[in-house]
Every structure is written in structure tokens, then in C-alpha cells.
Structure 1
Amino acid sequence: MVNGHRYVQDPAVFEGLAAFFDVDAAFLLGEDGAATPEKDSAQLDLVRSMRAAKVKSYAARTLGDISPKALHAITKFLDEEMTPTPEH
């Protein structure tokens, strides 16, 4: 399990991990309808924002001669992509 070479389905392992990380075991198992814990959702949103900011910065630097309208369209697209969806 640690190195990714073993498929683990032991409920006791997931219950222990869930208790350690203070999350629902259903979340760790990826069950349909399992809610993402608020703290994890917030961290994921931060990572998405940081990635989108890097992409925007890269696009602005490499597409130097692109029109302001095109840059705005790229920014709008990235902002929409990083907006949390209801399952997050």
C-alpha cells in the first residue's frame, strides 16, 4: 500500500486511516456521495488557484503579442475551470 504495489481493501485499514486523518472512511474509499472534508476542499481550491495563476503568468509571458481580448478569454476560462463544483 505504501509504495503502490498492493491493492488494499481491508476495512480496518481504512477506518484507521480515516481516524488518523480525521476524515470519513467513505471519502478515502472514493464512494459515490462521500463528502470531501472542508479542510481538504479548501486546500484543493488553493492548489487549483495556484496552478491557474502559474498558467496565467506563463500564458502572458509566452503569448506576449496576443490581443488583450484573447488574454481576457484565457483568464475567464481558467477562472471558470478553477471554480469549485458542488462535489468539492
Structure 2
Amino acid sequence: MEILEVSQTPNPNTMKIVLQLSGEDYKPNTFTAVKDNQPEFINAVLQIEGIKSIFQALNFISVDKQSDYEWEALLPKVTNALEEI
């Protein structure tokens, strides 16, 4: 999956990741656990230790981390998981 942009948000526990997604394929939703009926890329990110939840909008996701983890360690894992899909 192609990542177009990664940016910080006002919330230090949240990163916005713009993806190459088709708007008609995805509906806004919040994901907090791995489930069979969810998109593969959502489950791949949720499997990373330290990730709390994901909000998906049309062409981006907002990834929330647990406060005791640092983005310096998590962000490469998140981007790698997305790029492998």
C-alpha cells in the first residue's frame, strides 16, 4: 500500500497517515482490535505492540498509540506494515 504522507497531529499520541485509497472502498470507522472482517492493513497495524486504535477516513488513517510508547520506535513498524500490504 502506498503511503502519500505522514504528519503529526495536535495530539502527540496520534499520527495522520495519508494512503493511496479509493474513497468509495472505505467508510469512516474506528478500529480497536484485530478482527476477521476488517481490512488487512488495519489488522496489520493493530497487531503492533503499542498501537491503541485506528480511525479510518476516506484516504487517511489516524493511528493512536499508547502513551507509554514513543513514535520513534513505532512509526517505522507502522509504515513497514502498511507498505507490505
Q: Same fold (TM over 0.5)?
A: no
TM-score (norm 1): 0.26
User: Which protein is bigger by CA-based radius of gyration?
Assistant: 1
Q: Relative to total residues, which structure has the larger strand share, 1 or 2?
A: 2
Q: Which protein, 1 or 2, shows the higher relative CO under an 8 Å CA cutoff with sep ≥ 6?
A: 2
Normalised TM-score (structure 2): 0.26
**Which has more helix, going by share of residues?**
1
